[in-house]
Structure 1
Amino acid sequence: MSRDAAKPQRRILGIDPGLNTTGYGVIEFDGMKPRLIEAGIVRSKAKASIESRLDEIYSGVLEVIEMHHPTTMALEQLFSHYERPRTAILMGHARGVICLAAAKCGIEVAHFEPTRVKKVMTGNGRASKSQMQLAVKAHLQLATVPEPPDVADALAIAICGHHLGQGSMMEKLTSM
């Protein structure tokens, strides 16, 4: 068997962006069957300058991309409550450097709203963090729930990147 024939059908990097903690999860799909490759967090120093923090996020995401060679990145769409516009602005900075890392590596980025990810994973667009962790555990057949919740969210985003990115049956069900 040639090396090319052994390549996975799809490898998706899911990212839950944050200025303090960015969760990531790399999942490989052979057809509809997912396999967890790696998951973790990229953390920035809370007391560092914004420039330094963004550099840490960019470098951390770039390292994950270079290590795992995903075919696609699934990234959580910007979401913020109106009473906290500063949070949205800071999250936008983090998303920007994450998108830059993907662009530098030639990786397509799919963007997903948090409520859509929750709806696909649990059937409830307002699911709690613990419900999301349990849904990811079940979907990936893990022994324990993924920790911290940022990792579970990133894995859920990667799973949605697979299901919603191909116009699959899941896409048809969630658009009803």
Structure 2
Amino acid sequence: MLVLGLDPGLRHTGWGVVEAVGNRLRFVAAGVLDTDAQHDLAVRLVTLHAGLIEVVAKYQPTVAAVEETVVNKNAASSLKLGHARGVIMFTAASAGMSVAEYPSKTVKRAVVGTGAAEKEQVAAMIRILLPGAGFYRSDATDALAVAVCHANRTATTAAIGRSMRSSIGGAT
């Protein structure tokens, strides 16, 4: 399974692709889609859509995982972020991918072990969990963390399902 992790933002949207086979993870690629703050909102949203389409076409992920939005005190900023997040989720879903959502604390807990982890701790663990990932901007590192979180959740859910089926099958 190829997981596309996404850290949405209107100025910078991080993306990361991770291959998950069982409980093994492999770094594939990562980057950041940037928009120009001088452009209108609609142009910036089109830029995010077009950039994500390129990423999807190049890497062909099978599922997407998106970090949930934290509501800011500034309502206008939260609304703009919501627009960006909507475009990102729409683009992934329209490409045929299922889209999972995770709160940032869940992502941090899955990667570092605590929901209160700092960005530097997340980045350090991503480099350990995904050899070859190297050093990326925090937006891309956060997106890789979302992908790792989803891959781990999927592997755990599958293992539980196999265990339950075998215990039910073994009881007959």
Indicate the TM-score class for this superposition, using the shorter chain for normalisation. 0.7 to 0.9
Match of 2:61 in 1: 70
Is the counterpart of residue 120 in structure 1 residue 110 in structure 2? yes
Give the distance between the partners of 1:13 and 1:143, measured in 2 at CA: 14
TM-score by length of 1: 0.85
Alpha carbons of structure 1 residues 18 and 31: separation in structure 2 relative to 1, 3 Å: same
Farther-moved stretch of structure 1 (99-108 vs 17-26) = 99-108
Work out whether residues 120 and 170 of structure 1, in 8 Å CA contact, stay in contact via their aligned partners in 2.
no
Give the distance between the partners of 2:40 and 2:159, measured in 1 at CA: 42
Match of 2:137 in 1: 148
What are the superposed Cα offsets for residues 34-87 of structure 1, whole Å, 9 maximum, x if unpaired?
111110011111110000000000110111111111110010111123x22222
Work out whether residues 27 and 131 of structure 2, in 8 Å CA contact, stay in contact via their aligned partners in 1.
no
Match of 2:169 in 1: none
**Contiguous gaps of at least 5 residues in structure 1:** 1-9, 172-176
Deviation at 1:20, TM superposition (A): 0.4
Deviation at 1:103, TM superposition (A): 2.1
Q: Which of the two has greater helix per residue?
A: 2
What are the superposed Cα offsets for residues 87-127 of structure 1, whole Å, 9 maximum, x if unpaired?
22111101111111112211100000001101111112121
Match of 1:55 in 2: 46
**Contiguous gaps of at least 5 residues in structure 2:** 161-172
SS at match of 2:5: strand
Q: Considering only CA atoms, is the larger Rg found in Structure 1 or Structure 2?
A: 2
Is the counterpart of residue 30 in structure 1 residue 21 in structure 2? yes
Work out whether residues 76 and 157 of structure 1, in 8 Å CA contact, stay in contact via their aligned partners in 2.
yes
Q: Report sequence identity in percent.
A: 33
Deviation at 1:167, TM superposition (A): 4.0
Deviation at 1:170, TM superposition (A): 10
Aligned residue-pair number? 160
Moved over 6 A (4+): none
The residue identity in structure 2 corresponding to 1:157 is V
Alpha carbons of structure 1 residues 160 and 16: separation in structure 2 relative to 1, 3 Å: same
Deviation at 1:168, TM superposition (A): 3.7
The residue identity in structure 2 corresponding to 1:16 is D
Q: Greater relative contact order: 1 or 2 (C-alpha under 8 angstroms, separation 6 or more)? A: 2
Work out whether residues 163 and 170 of structure 1, in 8 Å CA contact, stay in contact via their aligned partners in 2.
no
The residue identity in structure 2 corresponding to 1:123 is G
Select which of 124, 128, 148 maps to 1:138.
128
Match of 1:90 in 2: 80
Alpha carbons of structure 1 residues 104 and 36: separation in structure 2 relative to 1, 3 Å: same
The residue identity in structure 1 corresponding to 2:88 is I
